[in-house]
Chain A
């Protein structure tokens, strides 16, 4: 279980949020809403440990983060997709696998699932923005992780991609996974227990 207590974040004397406390249990999702600049990305980066919160604590399964177990259980997809553009799809996924722990799906299964079969030897720089997003999704599927932290996961996906993403999210939560995400899109998260937090 992910829980936060009294989190606050200020940027250049501007308070983005304060006293933020929430908890996400197995099978639940937390959807952060708010205007541009309201601190959604900052909050996600705090959850990843890239930023220190100005006050407050985050804990994972009762232990204060960051701790090794937390990093083994979480995965992050941010604005930058983190693929090397000079490497092929397969090389990128193999690297992700080497840096994490083996997950539910094999590389080939995951590529089939995100509709990238046959792209094994394609260089990332030849992929479209939507295909890169789907590759990030494949990365989530091949490595072991319970908590997904997703920053605008629907950006640049087409209709088909959005439906695919939604179904993969639903499967993840149904299997006891957790998600913290931000999105501008009106997304369909039916079947998932969603909490919404509005930052302003």
Chain B
């Protein structure tokens, strides 16, 4: 029970911090909206084409928006020493780290899902695939946060880790992108998407179970510098 208390204290702390640094939460969402609104302007008046590539646009933008927000996951804790205190806590670091990842998803992934229906309509995504789009985002964005956390934990000790972070994390994001984009495209054509959804669900469960440990271990390594 006390372990759960420690977990929820970390989640609450990060949510309060996010509320007090509003610009940091607004950044990824604004980026998401801006990128998606630029596509119709760049492509011109071709609604059919736009409709066809809408799933890809939305997913690539969500992926890049998440990447943009990753660095803030451990940066300030690393700089002000609160990461040291988290690592020295008698509770398992992996559980506390999962708390931080949960808060990260609540402040970056969830806002993307909330704004996505509006942008989907904007791109002319057929109605029947809207629910599938939201479902893939709901299953996929937590995976992005979980995988991203491992990458950030590995690079947080480096002064200029941004480029390495992208190189580390982007290839791991590709499967999520493929299955999620594919599911939405199939749903637009009225085809069944059970297989893709099952695969995304299993990715989420795997990431949920497997990501916190390497993240905790990588944070310990980053301290050793």
A residues near B (Cβ < 8 Å) are 45, 48-52, 68, 71-72, 74-76, 78-87, 91, 94-96, 98-101
CB distance from A186 to the nearest CB of B (A): 27
A84: chain B residues within 8 A (beta carbon): 13, 17, 76, 80, 82
6 tightest A-B contacts by CB? A80-B81, A98-B9, A82-B81, A72-B90, A99-B89, A50-B223
Q: Which residue of A lies closest to B17 (CB)?
A: A86
Question: A75 to B9, Cβ gap below 8 A?
Answer: no
CB distance from B74 to the nearest CB of A (A): 13
Q: Give the contacts of B77-122 with A (CB-CB under 8 A).
A: 79-82, 84-91, 96
Question: A81 to B16, Cβ gap below 8 A?
Answer: no
Question: B87 to A50, Cβ gap below 8 A?
Answer: yes
CB distance from B77 to the nearest CB of A (A): 8
A-B contact pairs, 5 of them (CB 8 A): A49-B220, A71-B90, A83-B82, A87-B13, A99-B91
- Further contacts, 13 of them, CB under 8 A, given A84-B13, A86-B21: A45-B223, A50-B84, A50-B223, A51-B223, A80-B81, A82-B81, A82-B85, A95-B10, A95-B13, A99-B86, A99-B89, A99-B96, A100-B89
Question: Cα distance A82–B82 when bound, in Å?
Answer: 4
Q: Which residue of A lies closest to B13 (CB)?
A: A95
- Contact size range, B: 20 to 34
Q: Return the CB mask of B28-66 against A: 1 if under 8 Å, else 0.
A: 000000000000000000000000000000000000000
Question: Cα distance A75–B159 when bound, in Å?
Answer: 28
A49: chain B residues within 8 A (beta carbon): 87-88, 220
Question: B85 to A99, Cβ gap below 8 A?
Answer: yes
Question: B90 to A91, Cβ gap below 8 A?
Answer: no
B5 located at the interface, meaning its Cβ lies under 8 Å from any Cβ of chain A in the complex: yes
B160 located at the interface, meaning its Cβ lies under 8 Å from any Cβ of chain A in the complex: no
B207: chain A residues within 8 A (beta carbon): none
CB distance from B5 to the nearest CB of A (A): 6
B6 located at the interface, meaning its Cβ lies under 8 Å from any Cβ of chain A in the complex: yes
B224 located at the interface, meaning its Cβ lies under 8 Å from any Cβ of chain A in the complex: yes
Q: Give the contacts of B180-198 with A (CB-CB under 8 A).
A: none
